[in-house]
Amino acid sequence: MRNSSVQRVLVTGGAGFLGSHLCDRLIAAGHDVICVDNFYTGSKDNIRHLIGNPRFELLRHDVTFPLYVEVDRIFNLACPASPIHYQRDPVQTTKTSVHGAINMLGLAKRLHARILQASTSEVYGDPEVHPQTEDYWGRVNPIGTRACYDEGKRCAETLFFDYHRQHRLEIKVMRIFNTYGPRMQPDDGRVVSNFIVQALKGEPITIYGDGNQTRSFCYVDDLIEGMLRLMETGPDVPGPINIGNPGEFTMRELAEMVVRQTGSKSSIVYMPLPSDDPRQRRPDISLAREKLGWAPTVALEEGMARTIDYFRTVVAA
């Protein structure tokens, strides 16, 4: 007989950075997990330790095509999330966000399953409001080089809320701010992985712009905890809810921290700022505190030390 407390959970993008950590947490909690990934940016190395676990199933599949499985919960994390990856095939990026959302929402509707959308702080664009609250509509260039991701995620949010209103589907929309930790790809072009890999190799650390633009950085364990808490809220909490660390650091401060913690001799060099790159990004997490009882617990210094330890093994290999 099936244990009623055990959920059958679908994680799209489950072999990615965030998805693999989510699969770990779900398996540890005793749930059955179907991990779906087309391995465009995900890696089997991230979930290799789960293969053979009787509660884990790996399925190679692209969410732009319909999927027919039987589950109780759906976490929709499928989409390239770093500019270097999502700009490589921008049309496919938009299709992954939009067609992927349509297919997963259709599945959730058929199954009467609760579904969570991994949205992004990029829906705020280059914000005029700081810090960003969930009721801010954003400032996004709809025809820029980042629009395939920004507008794709914005459209996915639209679809989720229309399914919620039109079909009474139980949805959760989570806006993820910069997240870092083990299993980030060394070549994904994100600032944390870039800085660490450059420092460990003794190469110059590249800062785009004058180094005064700011970001907030949430350690992956904190992020996954927020995601799980949001999924288990009642139907009166559809979101969107910001999940991120409100601690704000300049790119220069981050680079100096990486140099210090790695013991690197790398110099810092400055390059032109890419098109539409936001100058400020920091979440207001008041809603997450109120609705989820959630706040990050891992300080940047501690999380960076763990992340650097992971990258030492990757770069050495």
Name which of 249, 246, 238 is nearest 294 in CA terms. Answer: 246
Instruction: Find the farthest-apart pair of alpha carbons in the chain and give their distance in angstroms, rounded.
Output: 62
pLDDT at 153: 96
pTM reported for the whole predicted model = 0.93
Q: What type of residue is 4?
A: S
pLDDT at 2: 44
Residue 75 has pLDDT above 90, yes or no: yes
Confidence band of 85 (pLDDT split at 50, 70, 90): confident
pLDDT at 84: 82
Q: What angle do CA 131, 273, 134 make, to 5 degrees?
A: 20
| pLDDT digits 0-9 by tens, 219-235 | 999 999 999 999 999 99
pLDDT at 315: 85
Provide the mean pLDDT of the chain. 93
pLDDT at 273: 75
143 class by beta-carbon count within 10 Å (0-12 exposed, 13-18 middle, 19+ buried): exposed
What share of the chain has pLDDT > 70, as a percent? Answer: 97
pLDDT at 213: 85
Tokens of 306: 């763990």
pLDDT at 1: 33
Confidence band of 317 (pLDDT split at 50, 70, 90): low
Parse the chain into domains and list their residue ranges.
8-249+256-316
pLDDT at 277: 66
- Give the catalytic positions in this structure: 149
Confidence band of 211 (pLDDT split at 50, 70, 90): confident
Tokens of 206: 């590249």
| pLDDT digits 0-9 by tens, 113-154 | 999 999 999 999 988 988 999 999 999 999 999 999 999 999
| pLDDT digits 0-9 by tens, 268-316 | 999 887 765 667 788 999 999 999 999 999 999 999 999 999 999 988 7
| pLDDT digits 0-9 by tens, 243-259 | 999 999 999 999 999 99
Architecture of domain 8-249+256-316: 3-Layer(aba) Sandwich (3.40)
Please list, residue by residue across 170-182, b when 16 or more beta carbons sit within 10 angstroms of its beta carbon and e when fewer do. Answer: bbbbbbbbbbbbb
DSSP state of 141: -
